[in-house]
Structure 1
């Protein structure tokens, strides 16, 4: 690929996933990722601070999507209804062509302690975005935090299910189902 071709960021992400899957995270270098993408190491660093962050490229956009959807939920919506609207908004950004990528991403993360730690940090940041938006709506702190945690956990569960190619359902449907399961589990706690 010529260096001037569009979508450098996406090419770098795909190249990184390919190399991490083929040779492992530790054996993959930034130079190797850039070369696989048909780009330079300098171009890589224009987009990402290090090779770990290439796997978490959408975190800022995801946080913003979640917070904006919570803010846009109807005024009478309960905190969990606002969270459900946020999950719908985020799930809608994941197109079917990303399903194979999702499965490979989860496998790479599962195989590396550093990446699992970074995934936990992403989880916390997404929950913080939701909780902040819920507090802006007037939800008290503990309720906002709990609703946010349930929402991100539901999304993580749904994403893992959706990444399985044998599952023929949308991420939106799976996220709604996962949130409903967590609501039922919460209610069962009494």
Structure 2
């Protein structure tokens, strides 16, 4: 049994994904996951409050890192440009978790309760971004809109990157923000 907490967490996540995909989410228990990972059920609960959180762990780390990165970009940038410049500091989190993403998305897609939980997590990220934008002096309503639009652009970029198999997530983020800027000046044909 590995002693390093991060290795144990990763083993538990890998075991959970394997069991969720082979047995089904509803049919898999925390005890099953612990046994598959070669740890005790008590160890499982030291790392995760329930089996659902195996799919959503790391969100707090991401939120804190993104909020901090947005706060640390130079003043004078608008909220979306600040987010664009902050993203490279959290990009390694996406890259590190890429092998976990595809099975996680399939499992979530098959369960409305998990979809709801994913939406709750997304709202938490947007709320943190909104707060960071406000602290940078962006008015309340604009901060909320910028958080929603910014997260949509990042979500679009990550989805495209994931589907492509490319290793360069930054290029997809750059393209999404370029397209977002282009949309803001798009004029419909007469």
Q: Highest relative contact order (Cα 8 Å, sep 6+), 1 or 2? A: 1
Q: Quote the Cα distance in structure 2 between the aligned partners of 1:77 and 1:157.
A: 22
Which has the larger displacement, 122-131 or 14-23?
14-23
Does the CA-based 8 Å contact 1:3-1:38 persist in structure 2? no
Aligned to 1:80: 80
**What is the correspondence of 1:29-40 to structure 2 with a 5 Å cutoff?**
29-40=29-40
Would the alpha carbon gap of residues 101 and 187 (structure 1) be closer, same or farther in structure 2, given more than 3 Å must change?
A: same
**What is the correspondence of 1:101-120 to structure 2 with a 5 Å cutoff?**
101-120=100-119
**What is the correspondence of 1:40-79 to structure 2 with a 5 Å cutoff?**
40-79=40-79
Q: How far apart are residue 64 of structure 1 and its match?
A: 0.5
TM-score by length of 2: 0.89
Q: How far apart are residue 5 of structure 1 and its match?
A: 5.9
Aligned to 1:93: 93
Aligned to 1:171: 169
Q: How far apart are residue 94 of structure 1 and its match?
A: 2.6
Aligned to 1:11: 11
Moved over 6 A (4+): none
Q: Quote the Cα distance in structure 2 between the aligned partners of 1:128 and 1:47.
A: 25
Aligned to 1:144: 143
User: Which one has a bigger Cα radius of gyration?
Assistant: 2
1:91-128, CA deviations, whole angstroms, 9 ceiling, x for partnerless residues?
A: 23233x64332111111111111111111011100111
Would the alpha carbon gap of residues 87 and 12 (structure 1) be closer, same or farther in structure 2, given more than 3 Å must change?
A: same
1:106-153, CA deviations, whole angstroms, 9 ceiling, x for partnerless residues?
A: 111111111111110111001111110110111101111111112222
**What is the correspondence of 1:172-187 to structure 2 with a 5 Å cutoff?**
172-187=170-185
Which has the larger displacement, 15-24 or 51-60?
15-24
Aligned partner of residue 55 in structure 2, secondary structure: helix
TM-score by length of 1: 0.89
Unpaired runs of at least 5, structure 1: none
Paired residues, number: 187
Does the CA-based 8 Å contact 1:34-1:44 persist in structure 2? yes
Q: Quote the Cα distance in structure 2 between the aligned partners of 1:127 and 1:68.
A: 14
Q: Quote the Cα distance in structure 1 between the aligned partners of 2:32 and 2:187.
A: 50
RMSD: 2.0
